Amino acid sequence: MKGSNDDSKVAPVTSSSFSIVISGPPRLRVVDEVFFKSILNPTEPVARGWVKSLDPNELVGGTEIGPKWCEVNVQVPIKLDEKLVRPYGLFFTIQDCIGASIAWLCPFISVVREY
């Protein structure tokens, strides 16, 4: 560099000198079969069901689900006493909402089977 007393040179970084690996949760889609994971212990599945909506404007229990949330339908409870993150009506635990739709955070959902 002109005017610099530092004689060290830094080679420009090019895309061929390294690779970027982006990994993350699989993309959720409506009707995917999924596990809902515990918010307190994200490795523990609390129920199995399917994604009903990813629209942040969708209403669940009278409230918009918002970004990073999805509407899921609970089919198979695993941890019956797991408290819902967003309880509504008479739904307070996973056991209460078998066959019903609830809001669940997308990062706490894992895809079992894509459709």
Ordered by start, the domain boundaries in the chain are 29-113
Q: Give the model's pLDDT for residue 114.
A: 73
What is the rounded end-to-end Cα distance, in angstroms, of the chain? 56
In the numeric block, which tokens belong to residue 27? Answer: 């993309």
Domain spanning 29-113: CATH 2.30.30: yes
Average pLDDT over residues 32-56: 96
Burial degree of 83 (CB within 10 A; 0-12, 13-18, 19+): middle
Tell me which of 24 and 92 has the higher pLDDT: 92
Q: Give the model's pLDDT for residue 8.
A: 46
The predicted model scores a pTM of 0.75
In the numeric block, which tokens belong to residue 95? Answer: 């056991």
**What confidence tens digit (pLDDT) does each residue in 45-60 have?**
999 999 999 999 999 9
Q: Give the model's pLDDT for residue 59.
A: 97
Q: Three-state SS for 108? A: helix
Element (H, E) at 46: strand 45-53
